[in-house]
Amino acid sequence: MFCPKCKIELDIKEIKISRWTGNKFCKRCGAKLTKLSGFALASLILGTPFICGFLGSLPAVIFGIIALDKISKSKGKIVGRSMAILGLILGSLGIIAVLLAIILPLL
């Protein structure tokens, strides 16, 4: 991975990876080498029912799909894949919960 500040190709040992966001940093100068996907973060926040209720479920799924698409096309420059997947799963569960709440009383 190339550091734009040090202007060198970094060895894997010279890269620090954030446990929470997956962002990569240069150990030599501290420069951030990757960008966390805003869509992935939005998907996770919207998908968490404690924060947005079930209103956020559908946008969480949509943002999660957009995030995964952008992350896969970024060739490693954008991170947040696990965050997007989690948002996608939480959003899907939220939608299923809402559908069950609508359908079950009709049965």
Residues of the shown chain interacting with Zn ion in the complex, contacts defined by CB under 5 A: 3, 5-6, 26, 28-29, 31
Shortest separation between residue 7's beta carbon and Zn ion, angstroms: 8
Shortest separation between residue 97's beta carbon and Zn ion, angstroms: 46
Q: Which residue has the closest beta carbon to Zn ion?
A: 26
Shortest separation between residue 4's beta carbon and Zn ion, angstroms: 8
Task: Indicate the residue among 16 and 28 with the shorter CB distance to Zn ion.
Answer: 28
What Cα–Cα distance (Å) separates residue 34 from each residue in 27, 41, 84, 91?
Answer: 13, 14, 16, 26
Q: Does residue 70 sit in helix, strand or coil?
A: helix
Task: Indicate the residue among 26 and 36 with the shorter CB distance to Zn ion.
Answer: 26
Shortest separation between residue 35's beta carbon and Zn ion, angstroms: 16
What Cα–Cα distance (Å) separates residue 104 from each residue in 95, 98, 107?
Answer: 14, 10, 5
Task: Indicate the residue among 26 and 90 with the shorter CB distance to Zn ion.
Answer: 26
H helix and E strand count, the chain: 4, 6
Q: Which of 23, 58, 21 is nearest to 43 (CA)?
A: 58
Task: Indicate the residue among 33 and 88 with the shorter CB distance to Zn ion.
Answer: 33
